Amino acid sequence: MNRTWLYLAVAALIALVGAALFLYTWDIPAPSQEIEKTLPDDRFPR
């Protein structure tokens, strides 16, 4: 029983390290759509 928990802990650690490496090396593309908003002058008091 104790050895089973050891195997599960090692498998979870390997999975976490693998997920971290995947996220570290994943090249997420930046958004390319332009956004233009017009803000009213009332929001900026002088």
C-alpha distances out from residue 11 to 3, 4, 21, 24, Å: 12, 11, 15, 20
**Average pLDDT value for residue range 27-41:** 89
The parent domain of residue 36 ranges over: 3-43
Note if the pTM is more than 0.75.
no
Task: Name which residue leads in pLDDT, 6 or 44.
Answer: 6
What is residue 44's DSSP assignment?
A: S
Q: Give the mean pLDDT of the chain.
A: 91
Structurally, how many domains does the chain consist of?
Answer: 1
